[in-house]
Amino acid sequence: MTSLKRIEREPLWDLAHAQLRDALLAGRFAPGTVLTLRSLAETFGTSITPVRDAVTRLVAQGVLQQGPRNAAIVPHLTHSELNDLTVVRCALEGRAAREAARRPQAASLERLQALLTKMQSLIAARSLESYLEHHRKFHFEIYAMSGVPILVETIENMWLRCGPVLSFVIPEYVVLLKGWDHHTATLKAIVAGDGEAAEWEIVADIMEAAQYLSSLADAGGQLRRPMPEAAAG
């Protein structure tokens, strides 16, 4: 799991934003978490100013919500909002996978295979603390291969919006409920230069996870983390 650490180098604003972004992408903060500027500044070892600038940008992106004075809130996600994000993610990430299959690169394929092997070993060992980190790197290695930076940037924004609830797939969905290995199939399609298959597998991967997350909605439509008893059973 991505953790926050003290910032030692300039530019402080960029580094504060990057750390917050990576932590949100990795599901480090649960929905509803209040992030105070003072506590973040103490964690980073900086003044409040670069932290405020970073948080303000994430609020403007719709990734965080403005909270009480000098604080921001990690927003909850509803079933309806997840559906909207899933529509956009399927369109963007599917296209990125298709483009990646058109220009496979040896170094990227090696990194993808290493990440896939690591993800599989973590599942086999039921040791999932770093699974989401490797999962994110696997997906974004593919998207970077698309060669369309603005597409990757937009995909990242969608992930930032749903990152906190993506952590809800641990452990039940990943270990017990996930069916066909779409990650392996995606990599095989990219190696074969089959853009249509790569797109289909990525979209299927997104859709199946979204269906599980939707099943976690409460009576008001808000997604909730499964209770430990449910995950254990």
pLDDT per residue over 102-130, tens digit each?
A: 999 999 999 999 999 999 999 999 999 99
What is the percent of the chain with per-residue pLDDT over 70, rounded to a whole number?
93
CB burial class (10 A; 0-12, 13-18, 19+) of residue 149? exposed
- The pLDDT tens digits for 131-150 are 999 999 999 999 999 999 99
DSSP element (H, E) containing 36: strand 34-36
Where residue 26 falls among pLDDT bands split at 50, 70, 90?
Answer: confident
Task: Report yes or no: 221 and 213 within 8 Å, Cβ to Cβ.
Answer: no
Cα dihedral sign for 38, 40, 43, 48?
negative
CA distance linking residue 225 with residue 43, whole number of Å: 26
CA distance linking residue 12 with residue 30, whole number of Å: 25
Between 113 and 23, the more confident residue is 113
Between 151 and 10, the more confident residue is 151
Averaged pLDDT, 81-109? 97
CB burial class (10 A; 0-12, 13-18, 19+) of residue 96? buried
CA distance linking residue 65 with residue 59, whole number of Å: 5
Position 1 pLDDT exceeds 70: no
CA dihedral 8, 55, 147, 82 (to 10 degrees): 140
Contacts of 155 (CB under 8 A, 6+ apart): 89, 92, 93, 96, 140, 143
Task: Report yes or no: 33 and 71 within 8 Å, Cβ to Cβ.
Answer: no
Where residue 231 falls among pLDDT bands split at 50, 70, 90?
Answer: very low
Averaged pLDDT, 14-20? 86
- The pLDDT tens digits for 158-170 are 999 998 898 899 8
Task: Report yes or no: 223 and 78 within 8 Å, Cβ to Cβ.
Answer: yes
